[in-house]
Structure 1
């Protein structure tokens, strides 16, 4: 059975910190406890990430459930295989992008921009974030931001053909992104400087690339 491991997606989310910095850094920095007069921003930061993770899990549930229903007749195994390959190819492109070796991923991310253009006005109405419901809501909206890492994880959930497993895959990915975004909230400047170091970007990017190459090599050996 074609399955992306929970660990692989967790690692991809963890190593993709440089991309997370670009996509979510502005909001997370604004919520940073170091910029607050008290510790209330910890609650807002937690609310933002809770909303974001909830969106990822919903995406995984929908993707896995839809494909599970479509594949229940057993006639679309080739589609499942193609989705599995596509998910790992996007991971490879993400790794090359993080390493500064390819910009092709940015073109793929453009696919989701029409949806984001519809959601973005809603997010602007929630700014500035002052309450927990606002933080939860903007986190939930930000979960739909066009992102190559999310695309890869979503395709993995789609290829799982299971609502429950799709949800778990997206949860594993979301938990992988969490340490970077929490650290970004506390050590925003230092983390940004670290992730911009060429050797850090190159190393993390190549490791993400490996998470996409290894499953494809295993598939070729079957």
Structure 2
């Protein structure tokens, strides 16, 4: 089951490219625009390497936040299970995880936008973290970029919340962290591209066909998760 969860989380991040562009492309583009100039000349390759070093650092911080969140919710779920000795609560959580994944797939496919209501709940936390993000600007070093990415990782995002329910349902701190690590790695290609070649890739991932196929893949994973949980519950 753990291999299925981790593989599924990676694919969720990968197929959620359209959502990532909608949520974060502006933020990544603004971040890229205010990066300091490279110290060694202005050759195109030096500029690209310089930009990628900051973007990788930024995304490393973001993925670290995802992994930390997954570890915390997975560990908390395990502790609650031991504390209250609930036999079937993990199966109920897996049902919720499956429903969340289906809702996310419907949103990405532009069929139903109910997941946005959950994103609004995260605005409370983000409003308290937003001043920290503004405080470290402008970013001058890769280490500052990592810190900025760790703050950015808490940006309200239905795709993140949906995958976090898998971490909760895992009932294990290590598995919960690995699920979110895999998810973060899956989002990496889209968000790295958002900083380097955002316009062309954005047009591609926002295409109706791509969004529909991505949404159907996520709905499929959600349905599979739901089926496994219900079968075990019975």
Query: Does TM, normalized by the shorter one, top 0.5?
Result: yes
Q: Determine if the alignment matches structure 1 residue 148 to structure 2 residue 152.
A: no
Corresponding residue number in structure 1 for 2:7: 7
Corresponding residue number in structure 2 for 1:183: 193
Taking a change above 3 Å as real, the CA distance of residues 89 and 4 of structure 1, as seen in their structure-2 partners, is farther
Instruction: Name the CA distance, whole Å, in 1 between partners of 2:187 and 2:26.
Output: 15
Shift of 1:185: 2.1
Q: Rg bigger for which structure?
A: 2
Taking a change above 3 Å as real, the CA distance of residues 200 and 2 of structure 1, as seen in their structure-2 partners, is closer
Shift of 1:27: 2.9
Instruction: Name the CA distance, whole Å, in 2 between partners of 1:67 and 1:119.
Output: 25
Shift of 1:31: 4.6
Instruction: Name the CA distance, whole Å, in 1 between partners of 2:226 and 2:2.
Output: 11
Shift of 1:2: 9.0
Instruction: Name the CA distance, whole Å, in 2 between partners of 1:8 and 1:72.
Output: 27
Q: Determine if the alignment matches structure 1 residue 158 to structure 2 residue 172.
A: no
Taking a change above 3 Å as real, the CA distance of residues 114 and 121 of structure 1, as seen in their structure-2 partners, is same
Aligned length, in residue pairs: 221
Instruction: Name the CA distance, whole Å, in 2 between partners of 1:3 and 1:192.
Output: 30
Instruction: Name the CA distance, whole Å, in 1 between partners of 2:15 and 2:229.
Output: 23
Q: Is the 8 A contact 1:68 1:162 kept in 2?
A: yes
Q: Determine if the alignment matches structure 1 residue 45 to structure 2 residue 55.
A: yes
Shift of 1:49: 0.6
Where do 5+ consecutive residues of structure 2 fail to align? none
Corresponding residue number in structure 2 for 1:64: 74
1:210 to 214, 220, 225: 220
Query: CA offsets, 1:28-84, max 9 Å, x none?
Result: 224559x96523221110110110011011111111111111112572233322221
Corresponding residue number in structure 2 for 1:137: 147
Shift of 1:139: 0.5
> Alpha carbon RMSD of aligned pairs, Å?
2.1
Q: TM-score by structure 1 length?
A: 0.91
Secondary structure in structure 2 of the residue aligned to 1:72: helix
- Structural mapping, 1:78-117, within 5 Å: 78-117=88-127
Q: Is the 8 A contact 2:19 2:108 kept in 1?
A: yes
Where do 5+ consecutive residues of structure 1 fail to align? none
